[in-house]
A = this chain, B = another copy of it.
Amino acid sequence: MKKYLITLAAASAAGGALAQSSVTLFGVVDAAVTYTRGSGDGSAHKTQLTNSGNMFSRLGFRGTEDLGGGYSANFWMEMGLQNDSGTGFPSNSNNQASGNGPAGVLSFNRRSTVSLAGPFGEVRLGRDYVPAFWNTAIFDPFGTGGGIGANQIYFSGLGGLVAPTGTRASNSIGYFLPANLGGFYGQVMYAMGENDSNALLPGTRVPSKHDGEHTGARFGYQSGGLHVAIATGRTRYASGDLRVTNLGAAYSFGPSLMNLKLTSELYKESKGSTDAKGVLVGFQLPIGPGEIKASYARYKLEPANAVREPTSSKLAIGYVHNLSRRSALYGTLARISNRNGAAQALAGAITMPGRSSSGIELGMRHMF
């Protein structure tokens, strides 16, 4: 088989700096066999082929063009993959439930941005992660992917998986601080709901012009083994704003303590008159070519005037065996406990209020 190069349509104007202008094709394909079960009369178990147990499956195109003087133009188009069935994920066009796309289609739902970067930082336009998502993803050793170990605060939260702006926002303008601030970093985001100026909440005279409008910020510090970050975000809805605030902290011990890394998160959110709180602790421990990791997360809903506060806790432990820097085999055990009427279950299972759900997954992840 002969090989020849894929070329790009546009030449760089920065002739002498070609080495720094590039387009990159990248992705992850991650699949696992997963068994989850619930408990109680009416509960159900399931065995599935799942995706994204270790890293979220994706396919993307990104590029950077060196403009000289420390400036660059950049784009990033990245789609999520449900590689167990060859489908993808819809995006959301207006940061409101009405803007959800049809299930199972492909879209560049994960990120779709164009940006100008320079000594001043970076201004980014398009669909991107909301700042307050990052702490939930980064400070859980299992992240927020499709695996059974993933951060339970994200899965049971008001402002997590199900909220249109729980992970990303469309129509956003983002600003990122430059990288050279001695370990300090930060970002702010403003995203638009794009409603008509005279829009009303259906059946009412309540203006809903600002529905889906998101503002968020995140600031952090990473140096040596220490990493801390605080983030907050608000999405406006005439039916009640969604507010999320969280704090993440991690410390990586050096070789003297087996390169152990401890992680933690504090989380607080509200939607209208319902509050919620979350807390997480975890660790990652390298073992030869692999890594052991574990996390414990608890999430408590506090509805206004409610007698009971539904609470769910997840304990997860896993092992990742690296075949290379790009490929790994992994296994995870997880268990959710529910109290006060909560009925959270691991994906695929159905459990009864106050009962537990547990599961196991064994999978393979390949990155390119």
Q: Is the interface of A mostly helix, strand, loop or mixed?
A: strand
Report if A8-B368 is in contact (Cβ < 8 Å); known contacts: A195-B46, A196-B44, A198-B44.
yes
A181 in contact (CB, < 8 A) = no
Contact A83-B61, Cβ < 8 Å, known A8-B6, A105-B102: no
Asked whether, in the complex, the Cβ of B45 is within 8 Å of the Cβ of A25, the reply is: no
Once the chains bind, are A91 and B101 in contact (CB under 8 Å)? Answer: no
Cα A155 to Cα B159 with chains together (Å): 39
The residue that A13 contacts in the complex, of B49, B85, B114, B324, with Cβ under 8 A, is B324
In the complex, A275 has a CB within 8 A of chain B: no
With both chains docked as a complex, state the minimum distance between the C-beta of A95 and any C-beta of chain B, in angstroms.
9
Residue-wise interface mask of A (187-199) relative to B, using a CB-CB cutoff of 8 A (1 in contact, 0 not): 0000110111111
What's the nearest-Cβ distance from chain B to residue A365, in Å? 8
Q: Which of A28-36, A301-309, A312-320, A333-341 contacts B (4 or more CB under 8 A)?
A: A28-36
- For A86-116 the 0/1 string (1 means CB < 8 A from B) is 1110111110000101101111111111111
Cα distance, A170 to B87, chains bound together (Å): 10
Q: How far is the CB of A170 from chain B (nearest CB, A)?
A: 4
Across the interface, do B12 and A25 meet the contact criterion of CB distance under 8 Å? Answer: no
Q: Do A81 and B73 touch (CB < 8 A)?
A: no
* Known contacts A2-B12, A10-B368, A93 near B104 by CB under 8 Å: yes
> Contacts A75-B366, A366-B65, A366-B73; is A8 near B24 (CB within 8 Å)?
yes
A152 contacts chain B at the CB level, 8 A cutoff: no
A85 touches B127 (CB 8 A): yes
User: In the complex the two chains form, is B325's CB within 8 Å of A114's CB?
Assistant: no
A170 to chain B: which residues have CB within 8 Å? Answer: 49, 84-86
Of the candidates B5, B12, B86, B92, the one whose C-beta lies within 8 Å of that of A126 is: B86
A26 interface hit (Cβ, 8 Å): yes
One complex includes copies of this chain to the number of 3
Given A3-B7, A5-B3, A9-B26, are A81 and B87 also a contact pair (CB < 8 Å)?
Answer: no
Query: Per a CB cutoff under 8 Å, which of B23, B194, B365 touches A6?
Result: B23
Among A1, A108, A348, A350, residue most surrounded by chain B Cβ atoms (within 10 Å): A108
Report, as a range, how many residues of chain A touch the other chain.
35 or more
Known: A3-B7, A108-B87, A197-B46. A114 touches B366 (CB 8 A): yes
Task: Tell me the smallest distance from the CB of A105 to a CB of chain B, in Å.
Answer: 5
A75→B11 contact, CB < 8 A: no
* Mask of A327-368 contacts with B, CB within 8 angstroms, 1/0: 101000000000000000000101000000000000111111
Please tell me if the beta carbons of B67 and A77 are within 8 angstroms of each other in the complex.
no
Select from chain B the residue with minimum beta-carbon distance to A169.
Answer: B85
* Cβ B30 vs Cβ A196 within 8 A: no
Contact across chains for B46 and A9 when beta carbons are under 8 A apart: no
The verdict on A46 contacting B194 (CB below 8 Å), with A15-B2, A75-B368, A107-B105 known, is yes
Q: Are A61 and B59 CB-contacts (below 8 A) given A10-B26, A102-B102? A: yes
Question: What are the residues of chain B within 8 A of A15 when measuring CB–CB?
Answer: 2
Given known contacts A13-B325, A65-B326, what 4 new A-B pairs fall within 8 Å (CB)?
A4-B18, A84-B112, A85-B170, A87-B101
Chosen A-B contacts, 20 in total, with CB atoms closer than 8 Å, are A1-B7, A1-B11, A2-B15, A4-B8, A4-B11, A4-B18, A6-B8, A11-B326, A13-B325, A33-B125, A46-B194, A47-B192, A49-B191, A63-B368, A73-B324, A81-B108, A87-B108, A91-B104, A104-B107, A125-B364
